[in-house]
Structure 1
Amino acid sequence: MMHCQSYELKIGLPEANVLRSSQVYASVSSTPSVCEMQAILTAFITLLQTVVATPAPFELTIREATPSPANIQANLGSKLCKGASIYFPSSPEFGKFTTRWSIAAEGDILVVVVPACAKDVSTVVKFANVVSLPFLAINRGHGTPSALGTIKHGILIRLDNLDGINVAADGQTATLGGGVYSDQLHAKLAETNKVAGKREFSFIEISILRSLIATGSCGCVGIVGPGLGGGFGKWATLKDSTQILQLNVTTADGSEVTVSQSSNADLFWGMRGAGHNYGIVTSFKQRIFDYPNGQNTYYVTYIFTGDQLEAFFNQVNKLLNNGTLPKDANTFALYLLNPEVSAKPVIMFQFFYFGTAAQALPYVQPFLNLHPVVVSNATTLYKDLAHEAQMTGVGDPVCAPGTTKFLVPVGLKEYNVEANRKVYNLYSDMLTKHPALNGSVVQLEAYALEGSKAIDPAGSAYAHRDDNILVSFSLSYAPSPDNDAAAIKYAKQARQYWIEGENGRQFSAYTNYAYGDESLQSVYGYEPWRLQRLRELKKKWDPKGRFNFYNPIVYLITSDGH
């Protein structure tokens, strides 16, 4: 009797349970023996049994080029958690969920799904893959990069219901759902006198208490979305590079993975600065800290006229001191139109101090010596700062959707006074010739960066640690082709003035503000190794480009798919 030795065969199940003969292979000689043939046959039968026994994720009742509402409801609805919702264009609620802060970023949505649990996100992604529909997950819908508007016949996944905020019993960490937004978090953490570490989504660089999209501390903006691209705000002073302990992510194939320094560490690196490219964060765990100064924040608001511009920027540069602003201080400024003060644009400057008025006085006195035309100051709780100091709370007009909005940013080392004079004059010219654009502003953001600069630049995908200042031409206007043309013309010219003012320094564009025409290098870094690593991660975690609607990273795909 013949006795056959065991053979280790490489035989497997291809993607989507589609069996092709070319994908079944074994480690045998070119001329297999009887024993080898017997082993191959046994393994092949086992594989077929696996295919038959593996249920398809969705049994479509009707095969359609574009699934109908009835088909989607029948095949997807029954697989979602209790409390989940599906909305079609005929639904009264459809517009509520598809209207974004900027209508230019809305795209073409076929159906909206509002998950009731994290598992629903995975289910929707798997369904979208089966029916070959694009999908986009959002929280509050404040992103503006132009790629957002390119989704066609897509599934919109709204994370609103994933809004849990659970503070650990020891008060050292909090677990947040992917649908949490800023004002919501402020209020919850204030109950425990805690603050979530800004600027350290260990550089998911998240602005937990200051989600900076558009005007500064917008309380209506979600937490995770801005965090995936970097974050730039008040809590950059915190030094701990391990603030984010864990991310729970749904990947492009619908898998649910844990992402941390010890689990999927490669993805953890990429999510912190380029995360929109790799997955959907359904929740995350982060360290939290005690509020400084008992939650109180002192702030001043000064308004200067255009003829004071040079003196103002010279003084700001002294205060910022090449990225060494005192750790308890932050600044924010705008060029804006305020007819009550001047017929021409004014400069509104705000200084925030996590301390008392007396402690802040040495920093603000030089600005008072410039004789601003408007002076105001107050102390407020941090949770109320967005609304009280800047009118950017969840119920304030700046958070309202329904107009065209976008930003064109540049990262700076310091303010070039001549360049900012050119931008001011350009902005003034735009408002004079195109009054329909008078809701637009120029943003000038500079924060304490001690914590950010203490982190190894190679430690995450975030590439802009060398920037000390973030400036952007921020457009807002009623939709029209004429307004579009004028707005982008002026914004790009302003960008060019700022770039020229950097005197040869490489142009950088903050990921969350990027307009969409910038190079990958300007958004994700100029180091060749950095882009190579990001592309390798893209190929591994999103080989079919399912997450390509937010400043997408692309890689070369050969004809054989490798």
Structure 2
Amino acid sequence: MTSLQDATTAPVLFPGDPGYDQHRRVWNADIDRRPAAIVRCRDAKEVAAALTWCVRHGHDVTVRGGGHNLAGTAVIDGAVMIDTAPMTDVAFDLDAGTVTVGAGCRWGDVDRPAAEHDVAVPAGVVSHTGVAGLTLGGGAGYLARMYGATVDYLVSAEIVVADGGILTVSADEHPDLFWALRGAGHNFGVVTSFTFRYVPLPGLATVRQALYAAGDRREVLRFYRDWALAAPDNVTTYARLLTCPPYWSQVPAAHRGEPVLSVATVHYGDPAAEPALTGPMFAQATPVYQSLKTIPHVTLQHATDDEFRYGIGHYWKHIFLESLADEVIDTAIDWCDRYPGRPLQAHSNIAHQMICPFEVIGGGGQMTRRDTTATVMGSHGLPWGANIGADWEFPDEKPELVAWAKGFADAMGPYQGGTYINFASVQGDIEVARQVYGGNYDRLIAVKKDYDPANVFRRGLVDLSGGRDQ
């Protein structure tokens, strides 16, 4: 393996080297794998050199951007990790209305300088999420109902493909590969930079949250399913089922340790207009707790980083839903009341985004109206996205929690209309790929054969080999 050091100018870390353990770690603490080497690439040329050497010598390759992927596909035992984390340049072209972002950036690296220009790129909800992983899987966050998915704003990308070539892809250059990158991009190469269109900041974000007692959950959720889809585009909504942590002292003692429903809204624009728009949602029952705050978008993007902190193990299932029918609501409540885990919220402050057994993200808005044929991110045309989350601190808690999450997902199977690849906790096979990409699957296989015929990038989130030997 020492010749890898001679093949590229990038620093190469081997087991036992200073920094090796730091850079092999990823966000999901359940992932503890040891690559054969970590190549800390600073530009596309260093990526190309390392990739070419690995292909020539028959070494498996993985790619790390932010390392936030649930399945931990950035790191595999015995493979060579191409780490793009050193690529952190962010450059705005104010005349063109674009920003070019290095593949090692986290979204906070983009949000902070963007706020200085009163603009934003529609993205996620946690600032330490990697730009690369979120974008290549589609991307959605607080601004999605107003503006759509992150991939809708991708103008071009620089990518190193399997033969070591460095390509710029866009709607005009390699358009087939550009299409595939926007939702299935983990499978086609090493993207080293992204150029996005940005949007004007739509004003301050007003965040309202209420917790409802166990006996009010069904009726509140039944109202939520109709109200949330009809809400204005500048109002994003969330509903979550969880057990109230005993340390949430703001909640009356009778409800601590008991099941509760959290409903949260994020309104962009004049704070004075917010009460009239969200009032009906919060008038359905008497909350046991409520909060209201108005903050800048960039503050909102960082507001729940502690909730989704490093050091926690995760196993999540994601499902798209056509409706929140009564049987869906009843199934979710039943399974959440059986959750075998412990409250892992970060602290006594009650955040609007939190680790929880089940959440529903209100759809509608631009996410429903977007052209689902323009990118691979097609399942987001369905109105509801739901996450089943099992989370733990200690390894002996994992087996029961994973079994619960799988059972919950099976129970929701009859109502499922696809899944979101960025919330997949396991690397999927061909069956999962067909579920994720639906009618786009065969076209993706064709693009894969053109740009990666030997299936070099087979460590992506799903199998796009088309059944070829791996």
TM-score class, shorter: 0.7 to 0.9
- Whether the 8 Å CA contact 1:105–1:143 is kept in 2: the answer is no
Q: Which residue of 1 aligns with 2:4?
A: 72
Q: Is the counterpart of residue 318 in structure 1 residue 226 in structure 2?
A: yes
Structure 1 residues 352 and 107, CA gap change in structure 2 (3 angstroms): same
Separation in 1, partners of 2:172, 2:423:
31
Offset at residue 436 of structure 1 (A): 9.1
Q: Which residue of 1 aligns with 2:398?
A: 484
Matches within 5 A, 1:147-546: 151-170=76-95, 172-196=97-121, 198=122, 207=123, 210=124, 217-236=125-144, 237-238=146-147, 243-293=153-203, 296-321=204-229, 324-337=230-243, 338-339=245-246, 340=248, 341=251, 342-369=256-283, 370-388=285-303, 391-392=304-305, 396=306, 398-401=308-311, 403-431=312-340, 435=342, 441-447=356-362, 449-480=364-395, 483-500=397-414, 502=415, 507-516=417-426, 519-525=432-438, 527=439, 530-546=440-456
Question: How many pairs align?
Answer: 447
Separation in 1, partners of 2:114, 2:72:
34
Q: Secondary structure at the match of 1:371?
A: coil
Separation in 2, partners of 1:353, 1:269:
32
Deviation digits for residues 253-273 of structure 1, max 9, x if unmatched?
A: 221111111111110111111
Deviation digits for residues 439-458 of structure 1, max 9, x if unmatched?
A: 96234243554333333322
Q: Secondary structure at the match of 1:379?
A: strand
Deviation digits for residues 34-87 of structure 1, max 9, x if unmatched?
A: xxxxxxxxxxxxxxxxxxxxxxxxxxxxxxxxx2xx4433x23xx31xxx4222
- Whether the 8 Å CA contact 2:363–2:384 is kept in 1: the answer is no
Match of 2:4, as an amino acid?
I
Q: Which residue of 1 aligns with 2:352?
A: none
Q: Is the counterpart of residue 117 in structure 1 residue 43 in structure 2?
A: yes
- Whether the 8 Å CA contact 1:249–1:281 is kept in 2: the answer is yes
Q: Which residue of 2 aligns with 1:61?
A: none
Q: Secondary structure at the match of 2:198?
A: strand
Deviation digits for residues 235-256 of structure 1, max 9, x if unmatched?
A: 3322799632211111122211
Offset at residue 344 of structure 1 (A): 1.9
Q: Secondary structure at the match of 2:357?
A: strand
Q: Report sequence identity in percent.
A: 21
Offset at residue 167 of structure 1 (A): 0.7
- Whether the 8 Å CA contact 1:437–1:475 is kept in 2: the answer is no
Deviation digits for residues 310-366 of structure 1, max 9, x if unmatched?
A: 122112112223xx4311010123323322342123222210000233312123222
Match of 1:193, as an amino acid?
D
Separation in 1, partners of 2:388, 2:286:
26
Offset at residue 487 of structure 1 (A): 1.8
Q: Which residue of 2 aligns with 1:143?
A: 69
Q: Which residue of 2 aligns with 1:554?
A: 465
**CA-atom RMSD in angstroms:** 2.5
- Whether the 8 Å CA contact 2:102–2:194 is kept in 1: the answer is yes
Q: Is the counterpart of residue 100 in structure 1 residue 26 in structure 2?
A: yes
Q: Secondary structure at the match of 1:459?
A: coil
Match of 1:305, as an amino acid?
A
- Whether the 8 Å CA contact 2:207–2:267 is kept in 1: the answer is yes
Q: Secondary structure at the match of 2:52?
A: helix
Structure 1 residues 239 and 428, CA gap change in structure 2 (3 angstroms): closer
Match of 1:315, as an amino acid?
F
The runs of 5 or more residues in structure 1 that have no matched partner are 1-66, 199-206, 211-216
Structure 1 residues 442 and 279, CA gap change in structure 2 (3 angstroms): same
- Whether the 8 Å CA contact 1:351–1:364 is kept in 2: the answer is yes
Deviation digits for residues 521-558 of structure 1, max 9, x if unmatched?
A: 21111x2xx22111111122122222222222221338
Larger Rg: 1
Separation in 2, partners of 1:135, 1:253:
13
Structure 1 residues 422 and 456, CA gap change in structure 2 (3 angstroms): closer
What's the TM-score, normalizing by structure 1? 0.74
Moved over 4 A (4+): 146-149, 239-242, 434-440
The runs of 5 or more residues in structure 2 that have no matched partner are 347-354
Separation in 2, partners of 1:422, 1:454:
29
Q: Secondary structure at the match of 2:402?
A: helix
